[in-house]
Amino acid sequence: MKTAHDLVAAARGRIHEIDPDAAMAALAEADVVIDVREADEYTAGHIAGAINIPRGLLEFRLSSAAELDSRALRVVLYCKTSGRAALSAVAMADMGYLDVHSIAGGYDAWVAAGKPVMKPAVPSFE
């Protein structure tokens, strides 16, 4: 019986992962950056320009959003540590998307590398 870890390991063998430094260039060239974390994770902080499509909704959103229909889109995916993004990249490849990259180590690696993030502004009550 396979575990989630087994599925992620197998997915990593099928996808193109890029480290945070290479991701900076890939983000500049991407047509779309997708954060596949849950909405609360995205709201707490995300990569600038990323749209939030949680992993559990990805295939459905890709199938229903005309702006995501082209299989030639240059896509960069990320999640917290890269497991969900790896599974998402495989799903996108299976759907025919041709240019999908996943950030190795995910958002955590991005932050640890000192890369810029968007965080919500905390309102001042003074």
Tell whether 44 is covered by a domain: yes
Question: In total, how many domains does the chain have?
Answer: 1
Q: Tens of pLDDT along 58-113?
A: 999 999 999 999 999 999 999 999 999 999 999 999 999 999 999 999 999 999 99
**What pLDDT was estimated at residue 98?**
97
Tell whether 120 is covered by a domain: no
**pLDDT > 90 in the chain, percent:** 94
Paired strand residues for 46:
118
Global model pTM greater than 0.85: yes
Tell whether 123 is covered by a domain: no
The CATH number given to whatever domain includes residue 46 is 3.40.250.10
Domain range spanning residue 21?
Answer: 4-112
Instruction: Give me Rg for the CA atoms of the chain.
Output: 15
Pairwise CA distance, residues 58 & 52, whole Å: 9
Q: Which backbone phi and psi does 22 adopt, to 5 degrees?
A: -65, -30
